[in-house]
Chains A and B, each alone.
Chain A
Amino acid sequence: MGSLRLAMITLLLSSPALAQSPTYGVGRTPTPDEIRAMDISISSNGEELPEGRGSAKEGAIVFQQKACAGCHGKAGAGSIAPELQSNKGQDVSVWERGRGKSGWMILPITAPYATIVWDYINRGMPLGKEGTLTPDEVYALTAYLLAVNKVIPEDQVLDKESLPKVKMPMGDKDYGRLPDWKPKTHRLPGYGH
């Protein structure tokens, strides 16, 4: 009895350590360079952002050069792809201002963090040639889309320091946070459905 208890305590004490060492030894350790090449996630504080810079003026040129205008319209509105520019004044709520004609949310307005605009253009645009833009081009395009929506001044330069500091119209209190999820728990306490 006593020794069993001792064995159980030993097991309990050692189990966190056990969980932290590999059990199967399957898989290969990637090199830091391999991780850097794959890791395109950008946090809201911008810690993964690459070196580079760009302004709205430069972005206006890239927007034409990279055929963005062809799909999204000359200044980001009035063509086949979703509008990137709002035609509503700054006096209405961010949700209203950031809603395009199709009902599609306008990213440079409704994104709570400017890093999401950068990240999406970097990984997802231009359609059909995804992943081909340089960091400078992505900074410039982000600056351009934020400037045409009057989120930043025309002459602001964006880089890894300034981009995460951009104050977006979608404030911290304008959208709902995801719940602190736990297994076997009602999805909305007190709702019952």
Chain B
Amino acid sequence: MGSKRTTRRDLLKSGGALAGGLAVLGQTQASGQTPTVAPTVAPEHDHGSGASPMVKGTKELVEYGQRSHFVTSVRIAHPVGGRHSPDAFGKTFHIATPLQDSVGVITPSSLHYVATTRGAFVPDIDPKQHRLMIHGVVDRPLTFSMEDLKRLPSVTRTHFIECAGNRHNGRQKTVQETHGMVSCAEWTGVLLSTLLKECGLKTSAKWFVAEGAEEVKGASSMPIAKAMDDCIIAYGMNGEAVRPQNGYPLRLMVPGFEGIFHTKWLRRIKVVDRYYMNYNDYGHLEKSEKEAALAFQIGPKSVITKPSGAQQLSGPGFYEITGLAWSGGGAIRSVEVSTDGGKKWNRAEIKAAPQRMSHTRFGYPWVWDGKETEILSRCTDEIGQQQPTREQVAKYWNVPFERSYRVPGLDNSVMPWKINKDGSVTNGLA
């Protein structure tokens, strides 16, 4: 350690190495801090031919960093060809995250998927005015300010959220279109169970209603068992305050349940003794109990993000196949990858200790021989649920399998990507 430092200081003393050292520094700045528009270059620097231009620091870049203008990955309205976001009124509906460019498990807050039950404006909530009220069948109704909540013991956990509308079909081109309505962030806040114990649950407490502060006051009902298990009243997201599109200043996290339950702009929780069917809950009615079960806690699901639809392999040779796996049933236990259309399944490498109801990054080393093939992934969670193929789902429901088959509930079926002879990657369902 010490000797390394000495060597470095020695090197910096010599004039030739100085320019090199600065060039390295400049590159680091360029990739970490450049605005999306082409940066202002500092012209007075002569740092040798072939070196990257130097970027001038600005007040904005000092205060809140930006990604490189070379990184152009953005969210898109979902589904493609569906309702625009923003619409003519400035409302946003469904916005999908660019999974094809994702690395690791965390979705940057700026790229986290967004969904509103119907198109909604994003409320501009003053955290000093905001209150969370808990009432209903409790011994002591309580109102919490943001300051109150931040005094209480906190938890920090990584959780995915997925929209019920995250369906893949043969018409979609990219993984952003097929799977972009799921994201994963690090959430910080108070366990809902902490607050409910503070209020004192009456024995008749069976369900709770969570309600947001947006114009329609969107509300959903959930079992009290979930509230006491792992729900979080989150004020933090990826190391800073929850973003407005994701519920600033407070969002209810309901790990592993469909996205709609993760109530944004949370203002009220009513503890109740029976099921309250709110408009949001009504909107998700299913015909049978079995279908209703599949549209509640999310099943095990995975997808290969690279190589994926519309990407291009540069020729035969080595590629790491990588993707994401997640489940509403708990942590991911294993992921398998097939590179021959599902004949042989190979155990994939899990990149970091899987967390409960969190994205898990997997990788599989692959040498492409230049022939046409199909690559797929499937996962198993800690309670033994395995991600099904579409054929397996149809078999369970006892219906003849056809291309247009629609998986009931939230679609967690296996996604095939086709590798064509020219190295292009296309949707295997097409």
Contacts and interface: CB of A to CB of B under 8 A. Distances in A.
Chain B's interface size range is: 35 or more
A178 B396 contact: no
Interface stretch (B11-19, B219-227, B241-249, B420-428): B219-227
Contacts of A178: 223, 275, 292-293, 296
Contacts of B217: 40, 123-124, 130-131
**Most central of B276, B292, B386 by chain A CB within 10 Å:** B276
A2 interface: no
A24 B216 contact: no
Interface string B327-348: 0111000000000000000000
Interface in B259-303: 267-268, 270, 272, 274-279, 282-283, 285-294, 296-300
Nearest to A116: B282
A39 B299 contact: no
A76 B48 CA distance: 72
B124 interface: no
B385 A186 contact: yes
Interface stretch (B27-35, B142-150, B169-177, B369-377): B142-150
B140 A112 contact: no
A136 interface: no
A27 B287 contact: no
A119 B278 contact: yes
B204 interface: no
Interface stretch (A15-23, A138-146, A159-167): A15-23
Q: How large is the interface on A (under 10, 10 to 19, 20 to 34, 35 or more residues)?
A: 35 or more
B378 to A, nearest CB: 10
Nearest to A110: B285
A101 to B, nearest CB: 15
A128 to B, nearest CB: 8
Contacts of A120: 279
A35 B136 CA distance: 9
Contact of B135 (A24, A35, A181): A35
A186 B135 CA distance: 31
B286 A175 contact: yes
Contacts, number: 173
A24 B382 CA distance: 35
B383 interface: yes
B388 interface: yes
Contacts of A180: 223
A182 B141 contact: no
Contacts of B139: 20
Interface string A176-188: 1111111111111
A123 B226 CA distance: 26
Nearest to A193: B388
Interface centre among A119, A124, A183, A193 (most CB of B within 10 A): A193
Contacts of B215: 124, 130-131
Interface of A: 19-24, 26-30, 34-35, 38-44, 95, 105, 107, 110-113, 116, 119-120, 123-124, 130-131, 174-188, 191-193
Given A43-B276, A183-B229, A193-B385, 20 more contacts: A20-B200, A23-B197, A26-B151, A28-B144, A29-B142, A38-B133, A39-B135, A39-B268, A112-B277, A130-B215, A178-B292, A178-B296, A180-B223, A181-B223, A183-B226, A187-B294, A188-B290, A193-B387, A193-B388, A193-B396
